[in-house]
Amino acid sequence: MRYLEDVVLKKWSAAVLAGALAVGALAGCGGGDDAGSGDSGGGGGKITMGFSQVGAESGWRTANTKSIQESAATAGIDLKFSDAQGKQENQIKAIRSFIAQRVDVIAFSPVVESGWDTVLKEAKDANIPVILTDRSVDSQDKTLYKSFIGSDFVLEGKKAGEWLVKEYEGKPEPVNIVELQGSPGAAPANDRKAGFAEVIKADPKFKVIASQTGQFTRTDGKEVMEAFLKAHQDIDVLYAHNDDMGLGAIEAIEAAGKKPGTDIKIITVDAVKDGMTALAAGKINYIVECSPLLGPQLMDLAKKVKAGETVEQRVVTEETTFTQEQAKAALPDRKY
Ligand code: AHR
């Protein structure tokens, strides 16, 4: 009799334990929303993510790298980080190495838009999901990646154009614009140019008299602006595709004896701390925000993808714009 009781008790304990494990596993799968839980999700072991970053060209990029590294640590994701130093060939090498290492998820911010199909197909054939962050690729086959999280760069360009149109409302004189483009072939350079052009074309008084790449860096922004100032005496507006190029250009404008923000109006994109400081000081007139804080959402997506959940193909980052007054108010709390 005693023996029978022991057997029943053991069976009951085993059933309770199995039930508890099942609930725990489910909680782990569904826990993808809590990036701070330390649970890698997916119901299995720790997730390994291979991440290929563009480089360290701007304040935005530094903040983006920090966001990704810190969020991975918080989410309990093992991050293999690789810096492509602005070269597509380095990114392709890094992705191939992540495939060889059999990471769970590959994420990357593509240096340029084109030329990814072959390596993305290799990842797909190896059954390793890819998530694009910050910038997209122009591949027609959308099954080559699971999701793309990042800004709407065309919209950013449009916002810059809309501010300009409003600023010169009711003033019929021609407005001479110089443009500092981002690195050639990069999605934000292509799209910010296109969005801006689409809005200002409505009024022929807006003329882009010079447009050249400043590689998204302060040094190149300064150099190219120096050349613009030498070639054109009548620049009214500078549109820079990021804060760093705008900040470099400010140095060139001041060295040429002109007042940035007054003699030449300046619009930039990003809203990093240095840009916001210059905006609050009246040296920049308007900044369109582009958020670099993509880490938490990226880790969340990685957990869901690893757990086999369906994720949205496109996650658009929420962003705003800043006038000089708004920058003064936002600066004390600006984290990056
Ligand atoms: O892809 C985002 C862009 O890349 C940022 O606007 C720019 O600063 C960075 O280098």
Mean pLDDT, all residues of the chain:
89
Show the tokens assigned to 82.
């690789």
44 falls in which pLDDT band (50, 70, 90)? low
Residue 15 has pLDDT above 90, yes or no: no
Higher pLDDT, 94 or 24: 94
Count of C-beta atoms within a 10 Å radius of residue 72:
24
Query: Where do we find the tokens 């809005």?
Result: 199
Distance CA 299, CA 67 (A): 10
Residue 39 has pLDDT above 90, yes or no: no
Is the CB of residue 78 less than 8 Å from the CB of residue 46? yes
Backbone phi and psi for residue 231, each to the nearest 5 degrees, phi listed first? -80, -25
Is the CB of residue 129 less than 8 Å from the CB of residue 290? no
**Percentage above 70 pLDDT, the chain:** 87
* Mean pLDDT on 205-223: 98
Position 98 scores a pLDDT of: 98
pLDDT tens digits, one per residue of 50-71: 999 999 999 999 999 999 999 9
Position 11 scores a pLDDT of: 37
Is the CB of residue 32 less than 8 Å from the CB of residue 300? yes
Distance CA 242, CA 214 (A): 9
* Mean pLDDT on 226-244: 98
Residue 8 has pLDDT above 80, yes or no: no
Show the tokens assigned to 108.
């990357």
CA 241 to ligand 1 centroid distance, Å:
8
Whether the CB of 216 sits within 6 Å of ligand 1: yes
- Sequence-distant (≥ 6) Cβ neighbours of residue 159 within 8 angstroms: 195, 288, 321
pTM of the model: 0.87
CA 4 to ligand 1 centroid distance, Å:
71
* Mean pLDDT on 145-171: 98
β strands within 48-186, DSSP E: 48-53, 78-83, 105-108, 130-133, 147-150, 175-181
Show the tokens assigned to 311.
């994720």
Residue 263 has pLDDT above 80, yes or no: yes
Distance CA 239, CA 178 (A): 6
Show the tokens assigned to 117.
């199909």
Residue 114 has pLDDT above 90, yes or no: yes
b/e 175-191 (16+ beta carbons within 10 angstroms → b): bbbbbbbbbebbbbbbb
Is the CB of residue 247 less than 8 Å from the CB of residue 278? yes
Residue 5 has pLDDT above 50, yes or no: no
Whether the CB of 153 sits within 6 Å of ligand 1: no
Residue 217 has pLDDT above 70, yes or no: yes
For ligand 1, pick from 67, 133, 288, 290 the residue to mutate: most ligand atoms within 8 Å of CB. Answer: 290
* Mean pLDDT on 233-241: 98
* Mean pLDDT on 80-89: 98
> Residue 196, SS3?
helix
Burial environment of residue 164 by CB neighbours within 10 A (0 to 12, 13 to 18, 19 or more):
buried
Is the CB of residue 140 less than 8 Å from the CB of residue 176? no
* Mean pLDDT on 299-319: 96
**Percentage above 90 pLDDT, the chain:** 86
Please name the residue ranges forming H helices in 102-234: 117-125, 153-167, 187-200, 218-231
* Mean pLDDT on 236-259: 98
CA 62 to ligand 1 centroid distance, Å:
10
Q: Lowest-pLDDT range, 22-26, 118-122, 250-254, 257-261?
A: 22-26
Whether the CB of 58 sits within 6 Å of ligand 1: yes
Whether the CB of 108 sits within 6 Å of ligand 1: no
Residue 41 has pLDDT above 90, yes or no: no
